[in-house]
Structure 1
Amino acid sequence: MNKLIKLLFLLVFSICFSQTNRFIYELDVKKYTKNVKINMVLDVTKDEVKFYDYGFIEADSIGKRNNVNQFYNTQVDQLVIRKTNSFENTEFHDNMFDYFSINSKDEMVWKIENETKKSGEYKLQKATTNFGGRFWTAWFCAAIPFQEGPYKFRGLPGLIFELNDQNKDFTYVLVKIKKLNEDFDTKKFLEIHYGTQPIRVTRKQYHDVKINYYNDPVSEGRKILKTGGNITFQGEKITTVEQLDQKRKSIQESIKNYYSSLELDKAIPYPN
């Protein structure tokens, strides 16, 4: 057994028998006129798989260090929990002061290709699938015995190291593997969003909430103006309905321009 095989065996052994197996991916998302890069966390235990922004961990660490409440909201709306070895996911979505959960079954059929490549010391193999209205290419490592990957992607005979859709609107690259000796508690921000319990809804109900907000994102400000009050929006004092209407249009344009749905077949149907 050569040195590389020994190192790989020790890594796999430590991953299998740790409490939380943490895989950090760099996610590159095309949004509007620029790309957004953000680190995402895949935590795998013997019972559950969780996927969420690394920013939650950073906020939690700052809060504990300074003994303050530190909050963070997802930047890419890809918060997921599922049972290990299951395609049945619970999605979490924040919306202003509300928090929602949606159950979904997201089974995917992979085609494993013969093509392989190296990533550092690891041999990766290519696989493809159609999911969410996009064609995806994954590179997985059979030497890492987890049938998991970023977001809802799973089911290959090894950990997904790289993943992207055909247009590269979403690209994931594994950048770090870490072993935690105890389960990492996410209840503060994931299962419950900083004290806000998730409201279980259907996909349509969630879409209705988002569309209602889009149709009048300044509704609270409109109520204040009607009672004779003044409001300040992004540092600008708003005193007329005309000013508020301009803000409404600006917010609506921003929502549409920056909205990027990974699952096109489940995208929020914002008006054209």
Structure 2
Amino acid sequence: MKARKLLYATDLKKNALSFNLLKGILPVRELDFSEIAFLQTTPFASWLKGLSDLSIKSKIIYENQLFPRGILNAAKNEGASLIVINLDRKEGKTSKNSMIRQLIKYSSLPILFINNTNQEIKPGGKGIFACVVFATDWSHTSEKALAFLLDFKKILGELEIVNVIKGKLTIKEMRQLKDRLVKTRKKCLDNKIDAESHIYAGKTSEEILTAARDYKADMVVVGGESGKKGLSRFFKKSSSWKVACEAELPVLVVP
């Protein structure tokens, strides 16, 4: 398999970055991710030796300021397969949320948004992949997110499959929903992933984050905006960026 590269974009200062959190992402090494390109606004290279000790190639690209187009161009130029975004939350919520929304809208690559550099990484070697909440509405992008997770099955721990409904369902609709969840869970079990399924009701983004708290998740995975609707009555396309903006834990958005 061809080696894969990760682009890690951050505007955090040196003392705000957490090497422990970075190590929480590093189980991807088992999936042939062997190089990290850091896109930084503050010149520092303290992580490079630590990564070298872990047999990971790394390089640094400096930018005065991070912009969505610059991040996506850097990912393209570096041949990255995955983008990690770690933004300074003190720099203004509006501008940060706007950047997240634009990245989700225009990226053709999966993006992992890191919102809390102080996140505790569970022992066991699976890092942020130890317990994952996967929110689905069976839209085109939700199915792509599931395929992405199946590709990551080697490093996944527990997977909590969540669908959020809004409004009262008929008996037929509830039966159809449960059947979909059963089929999705079976697909995961067939791939040796420890998976359970759950139904939540309420505002989509809020219920996804509630599920993440309920199951003490280390990461949330959602599909990005899609022109092909899934169960659109229950799952709004704006939910992915709302979750990415509001979550305290990492959120992976798959386009």
TM > 0.5 between the two?
no
Larger gyration radius, structure 1 or structure 2: 1
TM-score interval for Structure 1 and Structure 2 normalised by the shorter chain: under 0.3
Higher strand share: 1
Q: TM-score, normalised by structure 2?
A: 0.27
- By relative contact order (CA 8 Å, sep 6+), the higher-ranking structure is 2
Higher helix share: 2
